[in-house]
Amino acid sequence: MERTKPAFKIPDAINCTTENNFTLIPNDMLRNPKLSAKAKGILCLLLSNKEGWYSHVITISNMMADGETAVRSGLSELEKQKYLLRIKYRDKLTKQYKGMVWCYTDTPENFLLNEVYSLLEKHNLEEIKPTYGKPTYGEATYGKPQANNTNINNTNFKNINKNIFTNSQNNKKDKESFIIYKYWIKKASHISKAQYTQNLEKKIKSKLSKLKWQRNTILQGINNYIKIHVDPKFYYQHSFTLHSFIEQGNGIPRFVEGLDEKYNGDIWQNYCREIKQENKLFTNEIPVQTQIQNYFDNDVLIKAFQNKCLAPAADLFSNISESEITSALLKLHDQIDKKQNKNLSANIRSLLPSPFDLLIGYIDWITKNDWITNLTINMIDSTHSLFLKYCREAAAADNLERDPITGKSYIRT
C-alpha cells in the first residue's frame, strides 16, 4: 500500500532570538530570580534547537537527567513568566483538534505570533481559545476543567435568574420554562439560538410536569453539555437546539444523571472519568523510561520506539499522560506479538509486518484519517474496531492480502 504524505503539522516558532545560527542567552533571563535553575536549563535547551523543531516532553526529558514531571514543572514556570506560550489549534471547518505549537523566546512576551497566526490561516487552521468568558454561576469553567472539579453537583443553581422577568407570569411552570430558555440563551447561543415559542414552552412544561424533571436538573444538564462541547480535548461536537436537547432521548439524559435508566448521564460520566484521569498525579505512574527499558532490551529499539511510536502518539493523544500512552503502546505491541506467534508460522511471520511495524503504522493511520475524531486511549488495543479496520487495510500491501495478525487472506477464491 503506497503511503501518503504525512499530515501537515505546524513546527515550533523558536526563531525569536537576535541570532539563530547559534544560541545567545541574555543575562536578564539567566539572572531572573523568578525562574528556577531547572526552568532556565529547559529554556536554554529549547532555544538551542533549529527552527522547525517539534517539541515533546519525552524528547526534552531524554536530553536531561530530570524526569517528565520535572520537565512539566519547568515548562509551567516558563509559561507563568511569559517565556513560553503553547497554542492549540484545530481545523476551521471540522473543528477537529490538530496539534499544538510551542512559542518560546529569550525575552518575556516577545513571541512571533503574527507568523504563527499567518501559518495557521494559510492551512485553514484556527487557534483553540482556552476559555470562553467568565463563568456566571457557581464555579463552572470552560476550556480545561479545574482539578478536583468533577462533581456534577458543584454548581449552585438555587439563585439563578431571580430577577429575569420584566413582566409577571401566572404559572410557576411558565416561569420555570422561561428561566430554562433564558439560561440556554445566555450559555448556548453560540451553538444554537432559540426562540421562546409556544411549542418550546409546552415541551419544557411537559418534562417538568409529566416526568417530574426539576428545573435545576435541566439547568445542570445544559451546563454540563456546554462544558463538554467547548472542551477541545473531549471532541464532542454534536450541536443541539434547545428543543431537541429537551425532547430527544439522547439529549439531556446523556448529560445529567437520574433522568432515565438507559443513558443515566453516560456522556457526562465519561467526561468526568477522563478529567479525573488527566488530573491524576504523575508521581503515581511508572516513569516512561522505566517502562520502555523494562520492555525492550535493545538500545536501538528503545530509541526507535521513543521517536517513531511514542512521540507521534503523544501528539495524537495530547490530553493523556505520556506514561499512560507508553503503557498502552507496549501492551498493544505485546498483544500483537502473542497473536502472531499463535497464528503464524515462522516463515509466514517473516513475510508480514512485525509488531513494531504495525504499531508505527497504526498511529500513523489514525493521524492521517481526519474522520477519526473522538480520540481515546482505548483505541490502542488489538480488539478495538479501529485497529481491526487498520489491519484489514494493511493486508492490501501483501500480495495475497493476508491479515497481519491472523494470516487469513482476504482474496476471494
Instruction: Flag whether pLDDT at 26 surpasses 90.
Output: no
How do residues 211-246 score in pLDDT, each as one tens digit? 778 888 888 889 888 888 777 656 566 788 898 888
Amino acid letter for position 195: Q
- pLDDT at residue 358 is higher than 90: yes
Query: By mean pLDDT, which of 45-49, 132-136, 146-150 is the weakest?
Result: 132-136
Q: Give the pLDDT band of residue 29 (cuts 50, 70, 90).
A: confident
- pLDDT > 50? residue 135: no
Give the pLDDT mean for 274-286: 54
Q: How far apart are CA 204 and CA 94, in angstroms?
A: 31
The whole-angstrom separation of Cα 79 and Cα 35 is: 11
Q: What's the pLDDT band for 1 if we cut at 50, 70, 90? A: very low
**Cβ-based neighbours of 83, under 8 Å, separated by 6 or more:** 29, 35, 39, 43, 104, 105, 106, 108
Domain annotation for the chain: domains and CATH numbers: 27-127 (1.10.10), 172-279 (no CATH), 286-397 (no CATH)
Range from 203-217, 327-341, 372-386 carrying the lowest mean pLDDT: 203-217
Q: Phi and psi dihedrals of 278, rounded to 5?
A: -65, -35
pLDDT at 159: 42
How far, in Å, CA of 275 to CA of 297, rounded? 35
pLDDT at 118 over 90: no
Q: What is the pLDDT of residue 332?
A: 92
Q: How large is the average pLDDT for residues 291-320?
A: 86
Q: Is the pLDDT score of 359 beyond 70?
A: yes
Question: Which grid coordinates belong to 48?
Answer: 538551542
| pLDDT for residue 396 | 84
The string of pLDDT tens digits covering residues 141-162 is 334 444 444 443 444 444 444 3
Give the range with max mean pLDDT: 64-68, 171-175, 253-257: 253-257
- Helix 198-209 vs helix 215-229: angle between axes, to the nearest 10 degrees? 110
Give Cα 97 to chain centroid, integer Å: 7
CA pair distance 289, 62, nearest whole angstrom? 9
Scanning the structure block, which residue is given the C-alpha cell 476551521?
92
Residue 136 has pLDDT above 80, yes or no: no
pLDDT of residue 153: 43
Q: For residue 169, name the pLDDT band (cuts at 50, 70, 90).
A: very low
Arithmetic mean of pLDDT over the chain: 76
Whether pLDDT at 23 is above 60: yes
Q: Is 166 a residue whose pLDDT tops 50?
A: no
Q: Residue 281: is its pLDDT beyond 60? A: no
